[in-house]
Structure 1
Amino acid sequence: MELISNFPDLDKYVVAFFLIMCRLTPVLVFKSINPISMLPAQIKLYLTLIFSFVILVATKNDIEIRNFSFNTYEEFFFSLSVEFLIGLTFWFALLTVYAAVYTMLKALDMQVGFNPMGIFNPSMNDSDPILTRVIIILLSLLFFILDGHYKILTLVTETVRLIPLNSGYGEIKLSTLSQLLSSQYILAVVLVLPIIIAIFWIDLILGLCNKMMPQINIYFVGLPLKIAIAMIALSFSAGHIISIGESMLLKVEHFWNSLY
């Protein structure tokens, strides 16, 4: 069944709007280190629509010379899927930061004793331990300080020009993705290393105390001590956390730049 072979100008912009929205949706909506993804679903939907329109206006001249031709509904929805896949590639870079930091901090929270004391986030319908939430919020603030939200919009705008809408999906090397993931996990280990070392020494001292004074309940003595040491180590390593966080977000930017 014939759909539309050549769109008039108005239809062309409507199609371009939906293609841009599919490319932008994973980066803004799906869970990642991007603070916008932590907003309620309705707000994320409004922001996606607004940003898609802004990008459409910014790339209007490039879209004017494009001729979107679809003979069937299947071709149109396939083109939307391709744009969504391109957006998933950009989102993957943000996800690596979140996954690496979240994995290391969850293990650290379990060791410190914060794991049972979760902070419920109603917008995401999940619960995070205190230490995990503090550092995730710190990295989210860094995202804004480093103009990450502007870079997302600039990225999608540039890709509309350099990877035109409905032009297909380029080949992404698997080695590039694995290199990004491994480097982010290494940085995440370095991120929590000072606290890990401090807790290791506390566990060693508590183990010796348990051997010398078995009548003392080491768990109830050690739990507040480990929490206090973790907070002290966190306060002293705040500058270290900021520098590592900047490195992780810069690797995301370098990965995006390597795609086009």
Structure 2
Amino acid sequence: MIATFCRVGGCFIVLPGLSSGRIPGPARIYLTLAVALSIAFARGGEGQAVIYGSGLLRLIFAESLVGLFIGLAARMMMLALSFAGTSIGMVIGFNNLFGQGVEDSESQAALTTLITFSALVLLFQMDFHHAVIASLHRSYEIFPQGAVPEPQMLLVNITRILSSAFFIVLGLAGPFLVYGLIFNTAIGVLNKLTPQIPIFFVSLPVLIMGGLMLAYLALPELLRRFVDAFFQLPILP
């Protein structure tokens, strides 16, 4: 039971939506305990043994490491989306309005907060938490209880997930990057043609208005594709 609790707790401590400081600590502990009990009963006591001393410390370390690996896979996907949201805000000139982040206490651009919070709500609506619990249950087939994962395998899989996540979100932010490139190229040409007029200050409201219009049209599809890609991302090796 302790081993299962460590694996679930290691996952939940970095899992998007559950690792936020806005959720009280006792609530997270009770939720971790409930999920750990469910997984332990579903396994039917398989691999349960009494371990003492250094063996117990090794077991806690191994189980927590596996849980952290599963939770970090989802965390990296959300970090990639936050990076894409920051890039979108910079491109459309809407990155100067800051507020508190959804999960972190650090300040974050308002557009990035809107994108990440909307994606998080959609993920939980699509039973993201059920998929995480199922991954924790299936993880015992790949990482037996008490077995310390090979560092090389973990690093290879983390690199694969991180690169896949950033490629996905950069593809989703592509329309905004193209919009910013075309707009700034046009403004640069106009500035060369009419150097007496401060084109940059005149064009900034147009850039923001066009970017917000593009966000209004593209963000629903962007979020839908992100959620689809999130569930298709292989968390376990």
Does structure 1 residue 28 correspond to structure 2 residue 12? yes
Partner of 1:149: 129
Amino acid at match of 1:130: A
1:111-136 Cα shifts (integer Å, max 9, x gaps): 33222211124862111112211211
**Does the 8 Å CA contact 1:106/1:132 hold for their aligned counterparts?**
yes
**Does the 8 Å CA contact 1:20/1:52 hold for their aligned counterparts?**
no
1:161-204 Cα shifts (integer Å, max 9, x gaps): 775543x1344364443322222111111111111111212112
Structure 1 227/124 Cα, relative in aligned 2: closer, same or farther at 3 Å? same
Q: Per-residue deviation at 1:234?
A: 1.4
- Name the stretch that deviates more: 170-179 or 186-195: 170-179
Partner of 2:171: 190
SS of 2:18's equivalent in the other structure is helix
Amino acid at match of 1:146: M
CA–CA distance in 2 between the matches of 1:152 and 1:250?
A: 10
User: In angstroms, what is the RMSD of aligned CA positions?
Assistant: 2.6
Structure 1 25/226 Cα, relative in aligned 2: closer, same or farther at 3 Å? farther
Higher Cα Rg: structure 1 or 2? 1
Q: Per-residue deviation at 1:86?
A: 0.3
CA–CA distance in 1 between the matches of 2:12 and 2:154?
A: 24
Q: 2:214 aligns with which of 233, 245, 255?
A: 233
| TM-score, L = length of structure 2 | 0.84
**Does the 8 Å CA contact 2:98/2:110 hold for their aligned counterparts?**
yes
**Structure 1 segment 54-133 matched on structure 2, within 5 A:** 54-60=35-41, 62=43, 64=45, 66-72=47-53, 74-121=54-101, 124-133=104-113
CA–CA distance in 2 between the matches of 1:52 and 1:174?
A: 29
1:5-42 Cα shifts (integer Å, max 9, x gaps): xxxxxxxxxxx1x3223212233222x5x222335252
Structure 1 221/29 Cα, relative in aligned 2: closer, same or farther at 3 Å? farther
Amino acid at match of 1:35: G
1:188-231 Cα shifts (integer Å, max 9, x gaps): 11111111111212112221222223233333222222211111
Q: Per-residue deviation at 1:239?
A: 4.1
CA–CA distance in 1 between the matches of 2:159 and 2:39?
A: 33
Partner of 1:209: 190
**Does the 8 Å CA contact 1:21/1:52 hold for their aligned counterparts?**
yes
Partner of 1:5: none
CA–CA distance in 1 between the matches of 2:7 and 2:222?
A: 32
CA–CA distance in 1 between the matches of 2:18 and 2:42?
A: 28
CA–CA distance in 2 between the matches of 1:235 and 1:26?
A: 37
| TM-score, L = length of structure 1 | 0.78
CA–CA distance in 1 between the matches of 2:116 and 2:102?
A: 16
**Does the 8 Å CA contact 1:26/1:87 hold for their aligned counterparts?**
yes
SS of 1:35's equivalent in the other structure is coil
Identical counterparts, % of pairs: 18
**Does the 8 Å CA contact 1:210/1:216 hold for their aligned counterparts?**
yes
CA–CA distance in 1 between the matches of 2:189 and 2:102?
A: 43
**Does the 8 Å CA contact 2:73/2:235 hold for their aligned counterparts?**
yes
Partner of 1:169: 148
Amino acid at match of 2:34: F
Q: Per-residue deviation at 1:95?
A: 2.2
Partner of 1:13: none
SS of 1:38's equivalent in the other structure is coil
**Does the 8 Å CA contact 1:142/1:246 hold for their aligned counterparts?**
yes
